[in-house]
Amino acid sequence: MAEQKFTVIDEAGIHARPASVLVSTANKFQADIFLGHNGKDVNLKSILGVMSLGIGAGETFTIRAEGADADDALVELEKTLKNEGLAE
């Protein structure tokens, strides 16, 4: 299992476009990946789940991956978050 904490830096929070990119990245992996925010966990492979958290600018969230390629998934997701200027 791999887990990492992030802070949203995009002014608009996790809105539709970056959420799409994030979910598309997660979909490339076998691992089960979860997004945790305010005590709630959602499936990171679900765009509705990710959007439903309504994570705003400056807020923190965690990404947790379980399964064979969990570590790779987390590395790739971190890269995506940074490239998109979404979180750090």
In the complex, the smallest distance separating the C-beta of residue 78 from another protein, rounded to whole angstroms, is: 20
Q: Which of 8, 19, 63, 65 binds another protein (CB under 8 A)?
A: 19
| Tokens 């691992």 belong to residue | 31
Based on its alpha-carbon atoms, the radius of gyration of the chain, rounded to whole angstroms, reads 11
Q: Is 37 a catalytic residue?
A: no
Residue matched to tokens 């492979």: 45
Which residue, 44, 43, 32, 56, is CA-closest to 80? 44
CB of 68 to another protein, least distance (A): 19
Return residues touching another protein (CB under 8 A).
Answer: 12-13, 15-17, 19-21, 23-24, 27, 42-43, 45-49, 51-52, 54, 56
